[in-house]
Amino acid sequence: MLDFSILDRVIKETLVAIEKSKIEIYEIVEGTADEIERVKAELAAVQAETASVIAQVDEQTRRLKAARRQLVLVSRNFATYNENDIKEAYQAAEKENIKLVQLRETERHLRFRRDDLERRLRQLQEMRERGERLIGRLGVVLNYLCNDLQDLNVKLSEMQQLHQLRLRIIEAQEEERRRLAREIHDGPAQAMANIVMRADFCLKLLELAPAKVSDELVSLQKVIRDCLKEIRKVIFDLRPMVLDDLGLVPALKKFLEEYREQSGLQVEFTFLGEERRLDKRVEVALFRIIQESLRNVQKHARAQKVAVKLEILPHRVNVLIKDDGCGFDVNEVLSGKGEGAYGLIGIRERVQLLDGRLTIRANRGQGTTIAVHIPLGGQEGDRGEDKGGYCGRSHPDSRRGPEDSVAGSPYPRGG
């Protein structure tokens, strides 16, 4: 079985990792920006120093040329200048040459350092630009992933709920099979066995006491009628033929009549609108919704009275089931933890499949109200009779909502 919690954790950890990566890249970009400012300041100082040294080199070159011209002049005029003058001129030229060599070495070193700083500055600027682009792309990716992964998370949650629902459906099917098997075994099967025994008894009476056969056949006829009634009840639970033959309203009336006898509850049924045939899917869904709701009332609500209201409008069908029972926690039940969970979840799924709307209002000790609205023909009508409320023109106060419109309700509104 797929563990949806693991997928949910992976999704959350992925988003956290992306967010952390974005923050780390941002910190790197910020650090690069600081380094760029430092390199710029250092480069400006080196450039100024280089310019100064270049100026000194130019000046020293001029001085060296002047010293060399003086040396040439002294060397050519032995009559005017003596040996000491020549020696001093030579030393002066050599000294200026040494200074020039030193300055040129300093210039070469500064030029190398300047070029290196300029190259490093370009690399840092490119790194910052790439980091900023990467942050922007990560932001876009993160937004897309947040939206997509959140949608995925929602879908995974829906898949998990659907998986749980399928399990409940299978459990409910098995439980329904067990119930039908018990009913058939305890009802029609026992009756048929009794009929076989009574038929054998009639055969023996024909030989021993023919006069008593008539009374025994009358009794056997009653057993057969009861057996037929039980079989028809089982068939009705499986699929009421009257629903296919006559429609929703007659099928509901028949079901509610039998429900009153079986449950002992006071059941009030109100029908408003035009009695007409609906789409088979809608009729079956509405019948099962009402059937399941009333079964929940009988099993769990500990109610005395229940009201069922059906309203067929041109573009919408409204159903209201209201009881004066013990109520329940809606969130707990719809999460699959409470009694009657499968019934209500099944009702919700039927309503969703028909693009309808389900409202459940219940509180502990204050009864329960279930309102269902199903659009007909894919339209949630807002014209004519559909405008304004649950009852349309059938109710004198069209401003009242569906939960307030149970005509003649004999008990306070539930939760």
Q: Is the pLDDT of residue 398 over 70?
A: no
Q: What is the identity of the amino acid at 179?
A: R
Confidence of residue 322 (pLDDT cuts 50, 70, 90): very high
* pLDDT confidence tier of residue 382, bands split at 50, 70 and 90: very low
Query: Tell me: the pLDDT tens digits for 28-38?
Result: 888 888 889 99
For the chain, what percent of residues have pLDDT higher than 70? 81
Is pLDDT above 70 for 227? yes
User: What's the pLDDT at 55?
Assistant: 93
pLDDT tens per residue, range 148-176 = 666 666 776 777 777 776 777 677 667 76
Predicted local distance difference test score (pLDDT) of residue 397:
34
CA nearest neighbour of 299 among 307, 287, 289, 291: 291
- Name the region of 372 (left: φ>0; alpha: ψ -120 to 50; beta: rest): beta
Using a pLDDT cut of 90, give the percent of the chain over it. 20
pLDDT at 3 over 70: no
| Whole-number average pLDDT of the chain | 79
Mean of the pLDDT values across residues 46-61? 91
Chain position carrying tokens 């009508």: 381
State the average pLDDT over residues 379-407. 36
Token pair of 400, please? 């009242």
DSSP bridge partners of 312: 273, 317
Q: Show contacts of 45-50: CB within 8 Å, 24+ apart.
A: 46/110, 46/113, 46/114, 46/117, 47/114, 49/110, 50/107, 50/110, 50/111, 50/114
Which of 193 and 319 is assigned the larger pLDDT?
319
Over 50: is that where the pLDDT of 131 sits? yes
Per-residue pLDDT at 391 exceeds 60: no
Mean pLDDT of 306-325: 93
What's the pTM value of the predicted model, to 2 decimals? 0.48
Residue 70 has what pLDDT? Answer: 83
Q: Please compute the mean of the pLDDT values over residues 271-285 and round it to a whole number.
A: 90
Report the chain's terminal Cα–Cα distance, integer Å: 39
Q: What is the pLDDT of residue 339?
A: 56
State yes or no: pLDDT of 206 exceeds 50. Answer: yes
Q: What does the pLDDT average to over 370-375?
A: 94
